Amino acid sequence: MAANEMIQVSNLTKKFGKLTVLDNISTAFRAGEVVSIIGPSGGGKSTFLRCLNLLEVPTSGQILFDGINICDKKTDINLHRQKMGMVFQQFNLFENMNVLRNLTAAPIKIKKTPREEAEQNAFRLLDRVGLRDKAASYPSQLSGGQKQRIAIVRALMMEPEVMLFDEPTSALDPEMIGEVLDVMKALAESGMTMIVVTHEMRFAREVSARTLFLEGGHIEEDKPSHQLFENPESPRLISFLKKVL
């Protein structure tokens, strides 16, 4: 195992009852890498991502994060989740809190960051996504694109080592997709490690250096993005790309 591998997945299997959703998957993610995961609906992309921070418990296999097996019952999963930010398709901003509290709740309660410092950080990040003036708004008062940018900032507030995105633009109106992708692009350029499940082929191709094609619970292809898109090998990937491009 190379020293700079941040996440090492070995023989990961996930079953829901009799249905095998992930079938013996092995792969690794290095620090600083931006990886896209593409594939047909129901192929297990979300399940794979959710296994990485144990929102789903793997049926078998091993996930090493910074060398620690997070599937081990003895590891403190709450501690590990702090190091993995997650962004959901449905945003999932806390409806009962305004934007500022959405951002500061976790750092203050979990990391014991002083409120003042947490709020300073929040405003600094809000500036970066152009939403400083929304600090006092409630989620129900924001557009989808604004919600998702806030959700990204909320995850960043915990200063994670890696960011997981599960179709962050799929619930957005077309005119709002760009503003979210821009934020993600800037994040990628800043050196953040990112694993992105996406239907945005342009993002996969242009922003992520590597793309995985996940289908039927298997990684069918795993390559530098330009190769995967220019010279797809497996017939399934070829037919998938024909449909989406």
Ligand X SMILES: Nc1ncnc2c1ncn2[C@@H]1O[C@H](COP(=O)(O)OP(=O)(O)OP(=O)(O)O)[C@@H](O)[C@H]1O
Among 8, 36, 46, 211, binds Mg ion (CB under 5 A): 46
What residues contact residue 178 under an 8 Å CB cut-off, 6+ apart?
Answer: none
Size of the site for Mg ion (CB under 5 A): 1
d(CA 27, CA 167): 20
Stated as kind and residue range, the H or E segment containing 26 is: strand 19-30
In this structure, how many other beta carbons lie within 10 angstroms of the beta carbon of residue 18? 5
Pick what 44 binds: ligand X, another protein, Mg ion, none; C-beta below 5 to 8 Å, kind-dependent: ligand X
Q: Is 21 in the site for ligand X (CB under 6 A)?
A: yes
Closer to another protein by CB, 45 or 210: give it: 45
Sheet of strand 5-16: strand arrangement: 19-30, 5-16, 60-65, 68-69
Say if strands 60-65 and 34-38 run parallel, antiparallel, or are unpaired.
unpaired
What residues from 97 to 136 belong to the interface with another protein (CB under 8 A)?
97, 105-106, 109-110
Closer to ligand X by CB, 41 or 78: give it: 41
d(CA 149, CA 133): 13
Q: Is 47 in the site for ligand X (CB under 6 A)?
A: yes
> C-beta of 21: minimal distance to ligand X in Å?
4
Size of the site for ligand X (CB under 6 A): 10
Which residues in this chain contact another protein in the complex, by CB under 8 A?
53, 55, 78-79, 81-82, 84-86, 88, 90, 92-97, 105-106, 109-110, 138, 151, 154-155, 158
